[in-house]
Structure 1
């Protein structure tokens, strides 16, 4: 064994020259500077950021919650716009005619009606000439009536539709009528004709010289002389109206 020399133990890693120590301190100086406490300007900026975050973050959360609440309505509007654009895409203009024309409006009781046609020509600001027009009218009770023909003239401001050529009327209670001409007042929901008519329905068959149907009043009147063949089926119900 070796005898202790009486000197304190020495470590090689502490045996550094002054130049080495100086270089190490220079390398550590930037990190020490970065850890210095912020000055007054930096503190002011941090306080402003915190105040801004206290308002912006709750507002952002409220905006997100509101968007979730109103999204169903936004989705409905988007779908409605898509449907409208789809209808508009079907409308084409050829030689001054509208192809696939659709006209929607409200009657005097704010009930909707719709008139469509294969083509429409604007004869003047009041008159529209229609090919294969179809008028769809909704009554107060929710029943519907549809009338169509080969040709038609629609007077926009008066809301009168004059139909000619194989006029056919359908009603959701099973009534169907055919006549060569008919006038439709879409504002009041009245369809009338002074020409011959054949009506068929659950009640039977009726031939007459004219008719008047009020969709909103729920009545059908026929002008004679006429011929009525009643249905023998006891389960059937006669149509409302009268023949004179």
Structure 2
């Protein structure tokens, strides 16, 4: 009886406390369930990689590196959107080529890279090639563009208003539309005429 006299008031206070706090406990439990359900149902819409870097060698055993500010692949699509893609390759003669663009789109099944926004190609001999868009067939080693292109280097300058075609891994280059070339010649010295063009 003495135990009941002490236990019943404590039990009553405990029940009152539970009744007073029950709405808060229930709302916390509900928030917990909602949060858990949301986490359980989250599915990524896209794979986003910051500063991706890919290194490898091509079929001629030349090392290359491809980087970008970011790469995004939507769901299960085999298309990767690239922001500020950059690529460089070391050539068999020891020279190098560096390519950059504002954005790119890589289609894995076709092994095709579409570049846009000031596409620039630098060669270590001082040649620079600039256009606004280009498509590269990575498997076949071909490239093409259908917008104006400009090039400059030790040879002089070149412009073409309808694009270019690069075939046989750079062995054959065609410039389309109205094209203009200004060739530079080496300066001569001695008693002959000064300079030359």
Q: Is the counterpart of residue 107 in structure 1 residue 58 in structure 2?
A: yes
Alignment of 1:14-33 (within 5 A): none
Q: How far 1:113 sits from its partner (Å)?
A: 2.6
User: Which secondary structure state, in structure 2, belongs to the residue aligned with residue 173 of structure 1?
Assistant: coil
| Aligned partner (choices 64, 87, 96) of residue 144 of structure 1 | 96
> Alignment partner of 1:108: what SS?
coil
Task: For residue 188 of structure 1, report the CA deviation from its aligned partner.
Answer: 4.2
- Which of 222, 225, 242 matches 2:175? 222
Paired residues of 1:99 and 1:118 also in contact (CA < 8 A): yes
Larger Rg: 1
CA distance in 1, matches of 2:167, 2:52: 26
Q: Secondary structure at the residue paired with 1:137?
A: strand
Name the Cα RMSD after superposition. 2.5
Q: CA deviation at 1:120?
A: 0.4
CA contact (8 A) 2:142 2:170 kept: no
CA shift digits 1:12-58 (9 cap, x unpaired): xxxxxxxxxxxxxxxxxxxxxxxxxxxxxxxxxxxxxxxxxxxxxxx
1:122 alignment partner, SS class: strand
- Counterpart pick for 1:200 among 140, 145, 152: 152
What's the TM-score once normalised by structure 1's chain length? 0.51
Q: CA deviation at 1:137?
A: 2.7
Q: State the distance in 2 between where 1:133 and 1:201 align.
A: 23
Higher share in strand: 2
Check 1:201–1:170 CA distance in 2 against 1; reply closer, same or farther (3 A cut): same
Which residue is equivalent to 2:163? 210
Match 2:83 to one of 126, 131, 154: 131
- 1:171 aligned partner: 123
Would the aligned equivalents of 1:140 and 1:216 in 2 still touch at CA under 8 Å?
Answer: no
Q: Could you tell me which runs of 5 or more consecutive residues in structure 2 were left unpaired when the two chains were aligned.
A: 1-45, 189-197
Q: Residues 180 and 195 of structure 1 are in contact (CA less than 8 Å); yes or no, is this contact kept in structure 2?
A: yes
